[in-house]
Amino acid sequence: MDIFSLEGRNAWITGAAYGIGFAIAKAFVKAGARTIIFNTRSQESVDKALEAYAAEGITNVRGYVCDVTDEVAVKALVARIHEEVGQIDILVNNAGIIKRIPMHEMTRSEFQQVIDIDLVGPYIASAAVIPEMMERREGKIINVCSMMSELGRETVSAYAAAKGGLKMLTRNICSEYGEYNIQCNGIGPGYIATPQTAPLREKQADGSRHPFDSFICAKTPAGRWLDPDELAGPAVFLASHASDAVNGHILYVDGGILAYIGKQPK
DSSP string, 79-98: HHHHHHT----EEEE-----
Q: Which amino acid is at 157?
A: S
Residue 40, pLDDT score: 97
Residue 198, pLDDT score: 87
Please say if 260 is a catalytic residue: no
Reply yes or no on whether the pLDDT at 41 is more than 90.
Answer: yes
Reported as a single tens digit per residue, the pLDDT across 181-231 is: 999 999 999 999 987 788 889 988 898 999 999 999 999 999 999 999 999
Q: Which residues contact 61 (CB under 8 A, 6 or more apart)?
A: 25, 35, 36, 37, 38, 50, 53
Closest CA to 192 of 222, 227, 160, 219: 227
Q: What is the model's pTM?
A: 0.95
Q: Which one is catalytic: 123, 159, 191, 252?
A: 159
- Inter-CA distances, 63 with 47, 87, 123, Å: 8, 16, 21
Specify the higher pLDDT residue, 264 or 14. Answer: 14
Sequence-ordered alpha helix ranges (H) in 105-256 = 108-115, 121-136, 157-177, 211-219, 232-239
Reported as a single tens digit per residue, the pLDDT across 241-258 is: 999 999 999 999 999 999
Mean pLDDT of the residues in the chain:
96
Q: What number of other Cβ atoms are within 10 A of residue 254's Cβ?
A: 22
Beta bridge partners of 61: 36
